[in-house]
Structure formats: structure tokens, C-alpha cells
Amino acid sequence: MDTASAPTSSKKRVLVGDQAPDLAVETQTGETINLRDLWQKKALVLFFYPKDNTLGCTKEACAFRDQYEVFSEAGAEVVGVSSDSVESHQSFAEKYRLPFKLLADKGGHLRKLFGVESSLGIMPGRVTYVIDTKGVVRHIFSSQFMATRHVDEALAFVKQL
């Protein structure tokens, strides 16, 4: 499903206009950060992806990498999230020269807080959130199969902030 905002369901899901959840999460360098510390400095583009080193996820991460300076110039920080380990993230970031933080969402706690559902019942969902400096979700894009479109959608919205 490709949508500009998350669909509604009986499960709690973060929607446009909601306050983004905050959680302390470990980065690929082993540093623990709180999401609020990121969005208080600049807009945050938080992209959830299924798994390091898979075809679609690599394309998505590299597309964010290739537009990273444009996001920075527009006043946004880019951060990726998956349930992979710190070590997996570190290797992935080094291999593809990713300039942004990757969060190791052990146990999928952050994914659950945002309400990012699995696709096809088995694959962790691919959803991108644009969060403003007050922590309010301003845009959501969900598409499991259009991985690089997440970058275009987020960048177009960030430029409007």
C-alpha cells in the first residue's frame, strides 16, 4: 500500500498531527540517543526499513545518502531504523558510506510505538516520518516496494517546512 498518511486501524498508530513517541535507542556507534534530542535541533526524517544489506533497503539508504546534503541544507536530520544489531548497522553504514545515524531497534520497541506494521504479515514495514522541531509528525509515507520514493516524498515535504 502506498499512502501519504498511515491508514487507520484498531491498533494505536502515530498519525499526522500526533506527537512523535520518544525513546532512547542505540546507534550504529553504540551511542544511546533520545529521539527528542534529534528533533529539538532540526526537523527529523525518521525512516523505518526492514533489514540491512537487502536490495530494497540498500537502495533506500543509499538514496537518502545521496540526498543527505540537500536534507541538511533544508534543515532536516535523516535517521534510519531497523531491528538489526548495532554491529550490523555499523557494517552497513561503513560499506555504503552512510552519513546518518542508524538506530538499532532491538525488539522492535520503537517500531511498535510508532505503530509500523508488518507487510504481508512477515516483513517489517517501510514507513518514513517527517517530524518538526516540536516533535509533531507532519508527514508520513508508507510503501514497502517503492523504497527510493521515501526520499522524494520526505524531501519535498521538508522543503515546505
Rg of the chain on CA atoms, in Å:
14
Name the domain count of the chain: 1
Domain assignment present for 38: yes
Average pLDDT, rounded, for the chain: 91
Distance CA 111, CA 81 (A): 8
Name residues whose C-beta falls within 8 Å of residue 87's C-beta, 6 or more positions apart in sequence: none
Domain assignment present for 142: yes
Domain assignment present for 15: no
Which CATH number belongs to the domain containing residue 80 in this structure? 3.40.30.10
Does 133 score more than 90 pLDDT? yes
**For range 112-125, the mean pLDDT:** 87
Domain assignment present for 34: yes
Which residue range is the domain that position 50 belongs to? 24-158
β-pairing, 43-48 with 137-142?
unpaired
Domain assignment present for 3: no
Catalytic residue among 44, 57, 102, 158: 57
Task: For residue range 82-93, list pLDDT tens digits in order.
Answer: 999 999 999 999
Task: For residue range 19-59, list pLDDT tens digits in order.
Answer: 999 999 999 999 999 999 999 999 999 999 999 999 999 99
Q: What percent of the chain has pLDDT over 90?
A: 84
Domain assignment present for 5: no
62 noted as active-site residue = no
C-alpha grid cell for residue 56? 530494497
Amino acid at 27: T
**For range 101-120, the mean pLDDT:** 92
